[in-house]
Chains A and B, each alone.
Chain A
Amino acid sequence: MSESGYADTQPRMGFFTDTSVCIGCKACEVACKEWNLVPASGEDLLGMSYDNTGDLGANSWRHVAFIEQQVPASRVDNLGMPTIGAPEQDGAGVRWLMSSDVCKHCTHAACLDVCPTGALFRTEFDTVVVQPDICNGCGYCVPACPYGVIEKREDDGRAFKCTLCYDRIGDGLEPACAKACPTDSIQYGELDELRERAERRKQELHDDGVTEARLYGENPDDGVGGTGAFFLLLDEPEVYGLPPDPVVTTRDLPDMWRRAGAAALGVAAAVVASFVGARR
């Protein structure tokens, strides 16, 4: 049995998103929308660098984040390109971080745990998928997700998120976003192999002096048991809008039920005690 409860007949599949080679083209966002018939989210100019998607949600299953940072000029690679303006002005350079975010397909998935109808389920690939014909739009999965991924679609009423292209991977195809990614920033494959590849890539970057390179979500001992979609980041997770130490909320559920049970017994005892001597 795998940690998520599936029998080991089919290896766990996932994404490794190497943000160090992301060029911010958003081909992943477009390919996802096209393949999965995800509705437009409306035009919205957010004024956040090149990011006008904002966050993951019912109508955005991939989201490319753009982060502009001031760094010492020595940190900026000289590509030999002609420059404009006054390069010597303050000696500072700009570093541009880009990262394509997606549902993490957690080993211990809060959305799946709290879904009261069974609409959310775990597939044979160890991914987490919503069945739209079962979802009744109760919305419980929305605040349960520690990453803020899943969301109710306003005009539809049901919850939607990335399926890791369940309909493609069953036929041996890679998910639409990975297929469209021109730099292989998004890599799809067996999770065990992706984890090894990511570790090698991180080591490579460290050897090249990019010591801030770190993996996010690859550790099976983290608060969600590791994620099926994990990342190589070049700064702290919260800079990309990711929680630094996510925990599946249901980890604390047995304790919560115990406390609620004790409180209920307290109510029962208080009611009974309030009738002492009240009999007519």
Chain B
Amino acid sequence: MSRAQGSRREQAMVAPAEFRSYYGRPIVKEPAWEQPDVPLYLFLGGTAGASASLAAMARVSGLPRLARAGTLVAAGGSLASVAALIHDLGRPERFLYMLRVFKPTSPLSVGSWILAPFSGLATASAGSVLTGRLRSIGTLAGSAAGLLGPAMCTYTAVLLADTATPAWHEGRRELPVLFAGSAASSGAGAALLLVPTSEAAPARRLGLAGAAAELAAEHRLEHDLGVVSETYREGRAGTLLKAGKALTAVGAGLSLLGKRSRLASAAAGAAYLAAGACTRFGVYAAGVASSRDPKYTVVPQRERMAGR
């Protein structure tokens, strides 16, 4: 078909991407997942994972309120993320088919085998915390959930990157770091919101580490992926990710101010959580935008062919 012009680029050095297409129609299919189900599942799962690890460490460090908050957030977050995942299925009554096989080539299969035991363990631990019964079993379950927590934070990055969706596949090196950082700051955010300042120091530090990783990875997504980086800077994704970055910075700043102020600490936590949600919805939106325009499929592939 006719040659379509790429949209105006920010850098004048780079000529507009020129490419051919079939009536400008997309080549790859748009992700079939529903919003908000799947971005929410990414956000809640990551928050739950980091919270479980925080709780497990808090338990051995003698910080009972941090342990309690982390345990409850891990259980609530993972159960809600399971619900969002099941709700998204075309045949929800067949959700157990997710555990029919174990396939390392399918990040959703691997993820199901992480999510299922994680949510079970986190829920058992929370049940023990809430009822005060079977404390040793609850602690054991919570520790196991804490060990699985980091995997919960990052497997979803592979889930997105292992597609033909240009923004996600081209971002496969950065997404695990982004999701790890975002999950850490969200988990820390939940703790800052719920825990008094006397026990909040670890959450404050984890939040800062997560925020730094998140901002660095996001910067690379926005600038290092060639023409595909546009999808992280423009449109709905650009707006959400800009909001996410601002909220992350606000959260980090407030958490430092909030060493003694309960209010500032809670506000920092809320900002981190909002940032985490913005980041996940933003990354999802970038994927959708990149699948709708054949430019993001054709131009990188043509560049790859020219480089051979």
Say yes or no: is B249 at the interface (Cβ < 8 Å to chain A).
no
* In the complex, B256 has a CB within 8 A of chain A: no
Taken together as a complex, chains A and B put the C-alpha atoms of A260 and B49 apart, in Å, by 14
The B40-99 residues at the A interface (CB cut-off 8 A) are 49-50, 53-54, 57-58, 61-63, 88-92, 94-95, 97-98
Find chain A residues with CB under 8 A from B101 CB.
116-118
A139: which of B90, B149, B297 is its contact (CB, 8 Å)? B90
Known: A144-B164, A263-B179, A271-B50. A157 touches B89 (CB 8 A): yes
Task: Using known A-B contacts A138-B90, A267-B180, determine if residue A274 contacts B203 with beta carbons closer than 8 Å.
Answer: yes
Contact A264:B1 (CB < 8 A) given known A144-B162, A148-B28, A270-B209: no
Question: Nearest residue in A to B156 (C-beta to C-beta)?
Answer: A260
A245 touches B302 (CB 8 A): yes
Q: How large is the interface on A (under 10, 10 to 19, 20 to 34, 35 or more residues)?
A: 35 or more
Interface residue ranges of A54-104 to B (CB < 8 Å): 54-55, 57, 65, 67
**Interface assignment of B215: CB less than 8 Å from any CB of chain A:** no
- Contact, CB under 8 Å: A114 / B164: no
Indicate which residue in B106, B153, B179, B301 contacts A114 across the interface (CB closer than 8 Å): B106
Q: Please tell me if B246 contacts chain A, counting CB pairs below 8 Å.
A: no
Complex CA distance for A240 and B95, rounded to whole angstroms: 37
CB distance from A123 to the nearest CB of B (A): 17
Expressed in whole angstroms, the Cα–Cα distance for A229 and B150 within the complex equals 42
Q: Which residues of B contact A256 (CB under 8 A)?
A: 107, 157-158, 161-162, 172, 176
Known contacts A256-B172, A271-B57; A241/B21 CB under 8 A:
yes
Chain B residues positioned under 8 Å from A148 (CB to CB): 26-29, 164
Instruction: List, in ascending order, chain A residues with CB within 8 A of B25's CB.
Output: 54-55, 241
Instruction: Determine, out of A37-45, A194-202, A247-255, the stretch whose residues face the partner at the interface.
Output: A247-255
| Contact status A274-B202, CB under 8 Å | yes
What is the distance, in angstroms, from A243's C-beta to the closest C-beta of chain B?
5
With A114-B108, A117-B97 as contacts: A264 and B210 at CB distance below 8 Å: no
B22 adjacent to A67 (CB under 8 Å): yes
A12 to B91 alpha-carbon distance, docked (Å): 33
Number of A-B residue pairs having CB atoms within 8 Å of each other in the complex: 252
A237 to chain B, nearest CB (A): 9
Is A143 at the interface (CB under 8 A from chain B)? yes
Binds A, one of B30-38, B236-244, B261-269, B271-279: B30-38
Closest to A258 in B: B176
Structural contact, B32 and A65, CB atoms closer than 8 A: no
Contact B29 A145 (CB under 8 A): yes
Starting from the known contacts A144-B163, A274-B204, A275-B202, 16 additional A-B residue pairs (CB-CB under 8 Å) come to A110-B163, A116-B101, A118-B100, A135-B94, A136-B91, A143-B164, A143-B165, A145-B28, A147-B27, A239-B20, A241-B25, A249-B161, A250-B162, A259-B157, A262-B176, A267-B53
Residues of A within 8 A of B (CB): 46, 48, 54-55, 57, 65, 67, 110, 113-119, 134-140, 142-152, 156-159, 236, 238-246, 249-250, 252-253, 255-257, 259-268, 270-275, 278-280
29 contacts between A and B (CB under 8 A): A65-B22, A114-B106, A115-B106, A116-B98, A116-B106, A117-B101, A119-B97, A138-B89, A139-B33, A139-B88, A140-B108, A145-B164, A146-B28, A152-B32, A152-B90, A156-B90, A157-B89, A239-B20, A239-B21, A245-B302, A253-B107, A253-B162, A256-B157, A263-B177, A263-B179, A267-B183, A268-B150, A271-B54, A280-B62
